[in-house]
Structure 1
Amino acid sequence: MPAIECRSLTKYYGDVRGIEDVSFTVEDGEVFGFLGPNGAGKTTAIRTLLGFLSPTSGGAALLGHDATDPGESRAARERIGYLPGDPGLDEDRTAEAFLDHQAALRGSGSREALVARFGLDESRRIGDLSRGNRQKVALVAAFMHDPDLLLLDEPTSGLDPLLQEEFAALVRERVVDGASVLLSSHVLGEVAALCDRVGVLREGRLAAVESVEDLRSRGGKQVRVRVAEDVSRGAFEVRGAMNLRVGDTVSFTWTGGYDALIDLLDGFTVHDLEIVDAPLEEAFMTFYDGDVPGPGRRDDARGARGTEASAPASGTGTDPEKTDADGGDR
């Protein structure tokens, strides 16, 4: 049984598309990435999966529970760790009081270890904490009851590089222990380092579901070559060569086959040649050329953001079905 099964999930805010016809699965022990820029629909998809937003159509299951049934959705959330994109923590509480409340709701088997690991000072009032320290509080809350499934929305926002590495190590440890993870991000390096497969969201629609390896291969190869001859730009303006730069060294992104590349270079005396994977950004941008047809297209990614930034962290005591009624679009 998949940890997550999403079936043609659709959420509209009036006539504005949040997500449309989104289908994917997250297998047990898998880290699945939602990749897309702000406004692509990542947060809407996660909040609809969790039952915080009612879908316009379609369905989903979390850990075998029907995500569209309020009772079953609540039962599933007891085994889920959720980190919102903006946790919206109660600023008047101390971190300790907030985590005590979370522990009363779901348990706290790993709390002490996580507090020490992230260097969190629980005695401080949340309103006095920096953005990074608030994120630490939310991370401890999401992980401390050792959930079977983690839904993490932009989880490293505000964390310094060392803590980002610590977070990545924590995710890998939990997966080894049997947890499954859905992680949304617009940071390509984070997705490449952690995820087994990636769903690329584009304006609310799932453009592709691919392994990170296949996604990277879509970007082609980065070629740098130095030859003995004087080179004209026209000599390398051939099918398969993109982002061409001609100087003492010729560089380009190659999206064709190796035989065609060898034929291209065969006419030159090659002094130096380097061929490496193109940056993941090259692959990512192949999904963002041209327009997505259909109603509700948002030229301004802020178009339907609503009040989602104020959404509470899981278990803050606010009824999630009553929050964020007009939703968001991240």
Structure 2
Amino acid sequence: MAKDLTESSHDRQNILNNRYVLQQAEQHLDLGGAHFQNETVFTKQQLMALYEISDATIERYLNSHSDELKSNGYQILRGAKLKEFKASSHGTLTNEGTKTSVLGVFSFRAVLNLGMLLTESEPARLLRSRLLDIVLDVMAERAGGHTKFINQRDENYLLAAFQEENYRRNFTDALDNHVEGNHWKYARFTNLIYQSIFHENAAEYKKVLKLTAKANIRETLYSEVLNLIASFESGIAHELEKASQAQGRKLTQKEAERLLRSFEQHPLFKPLILDARTKMASRDLCFRDALHKKLEAYIRSVPEADFDRFLGEKSRSLEEQLSDPETLAVLKRLKDR
């Protein structure tokens, strides 16, 4: 979907939190700047020339987006830091005023931040277009072009998937032994769990991620979501067995549904469900360009650690993980329990 970086703070921050994009951008955009304290910084005068805007325009954005720009590296230099900056510029920034007692400078990250905000600058519009291209290039390169299964690059995915499969067997056994009905009840109660956690049934989820009808949803879920589903399955299996034994018979599907709805209201699950919804909605929009409309209120910018988790050196394809003897040994120990 088309991204309007001037409007969406989440989309802006997702770019700025992705250090792999920042590395490529700094290398290829060649914006200039001055070297100070091991990073590239820019003065207001330099940004006026770069974006072809006035001093007043920069000040307006500094006022309207102060917290965002400061969190991304805009700072005011005073005292010893300002003196050091003036000395390091070797007289090349004389138009900033040699007698000034304070000076605002932008980190490279803050320069990009401002460029994603400016609506009245053609150079900024071109920069936004280039940035979005760099994002696509980085994602394709680091994720192998398969963002649909980017969840599997997480080192925690394989263990979560393996454990969830074990709990799922307990859950389906409980449905067999303690709930009336035919084989359709498995899909029905699975959908009820999905709806409890992320407000979508299987068909809706597949549509959002553009999966085929026969695709296995769980192969696309993040480890935190798989762990929460496993908790639901384990807990519900226990409650079904207990209720069935108390009644001395199998439960009707209506009784089982009421039990599940009561189970999902337990205070224990509230923070876990909030976390799962936030991670699913935010990561899928960022990494897969997939919008879960029923979870739109939970969208946040993706933290820097997640980019390392799914795109960094420790992230590996599922094939690479399965070829690792240590990983296989862990799975074998779990299987033999």
With normalisation by structure 2, the TM-score equals 0.28
More helix by share: 2
Q: Which has the higher contact order (CA 8 A, sep 6+)?
A: 1
TM-score normalised over the length of structure 1: 0.29
Structure (1 or 2) with the larger CA radius of gyration: 2
